[in-house]
Amino acid sequence: MTIFSGVHALQPVQKFGGLLLILLLVFAFLQPLYYPIDADIQDLGNMLQSSSISHWFGTDHFGRDMLARVASAIRLSFLLIVLSVGFALFFGLLMGVLSGYFGSWVDKICTFLCDIIMALPGLLFILLFAAIAPNTFWSLYLGISLVLWVEFFRMVRAMTQTIASSREIEASRLMGMDFFYCFKRHFLPKILPVVATLSAFAAGNAVLALATLGFINVGLRPPTAELGLMMTELFPYYYQAPFVFLQPIIAVFILVLSLQLLSGKMK
């Protein structure tokens, strides 16, 4: 299947979600080009200002430009999404297929690791990593990745076990085909569409997890531009500057909505 045929296979709601995500990423990643303002520069004489020619989205309680900070926070969130979902997808797919196909001790080890992670609620598990190494990006990345890995592993393992007992696999084995041929010919085409949908859904959960940690002041610390942390910092000024306070909330809403639509979960 080509890239263009894959795009045409998407539902209209998924295409809209993809377009919304692309527009948001263009806004965030091209900001240094079309709006070259440092997100950390303070101007205490220009605090909580409304939109103007010099500050399109206004300024926060330290006089920092809000457009630059929102764009920087979106870039940070998207980077964490790519790393976390990519890690969870790769190892979830690899270990899920090996566990479901070979079984035996491989399945026991992977299932035991999955049970350990599931013993604690996902957010609490991420909080443990954030508490061990506060104000570090890798602790959030590792905690979110492990929580997301469980979902990928369980889904891929269940599908692999079903496919492994099918007549197609039996025929390939009788013809002397090895595991790599079976993986490429039988497993991957059936698993990838489900995994792609799960990836978009998991990415939305990763954004919410990061924003929640920032809102309760766990994880990254000021002056880092992070959406949840910005909500906490601007909350005392919601009445004085409601438009400034709503900007990180709107950014989280659009980012999560686009990913949810892209996953096909909302129709």
pLDDT in tens, 72-112: 999 988 888 888 899 999 998 888 888 887 777 888 888 88
- Quickly state the pLDDT bin for 23 (edges 50, 70, 90): very high
CA distance 54 to 71: 16
Task: Please give the pLDDT value at position 214.
Answer: 76
pLDDT category at 6 given cuts 50, 70, 90 is very low
Domains of the chain: 11-32+55-263 (1.10.3720.10)
Split at pLDDT 50, 70, 90, the class of 219 is: low
Mean pLDDT computed over 209-216: 78
Q: What is the pLDDT of residues 28-72, one digit of tens each?
A: 999 999 999 988 888 888 888 888 898 899 999 899 999 999 999
Question: Does residue 8 or residue 23 have the better pLDDT?
Answer: 23
pLDDT at res. 266: 43
Backbone Cα Rg of the chain: 22
Q: Are 152 and 195 in contact (CB under 8 A)?
A: yes
Alpha-carbon gap, residue 130 to 54, rounded angstroms: 37
Phi/psi zone of residue 120: left (φ > 0), alpha (ψ -120 to 50 degrees), beta? beta
Q: What are phi and psi of 194, to 5 degrees?
A: -70, -40
CA pair distance 205, 215, nearest whole angstrom: 15
- 3-class SS shares of the chain: helix, strand, coil, % to 5: 75, 0, 25
Predicted pLDDT at 248: 92
Residue-averaged pLDDT of the chain: 83
How high is the pLDDT of residue 75? 93
Per-residue pLDDT at 215: 74
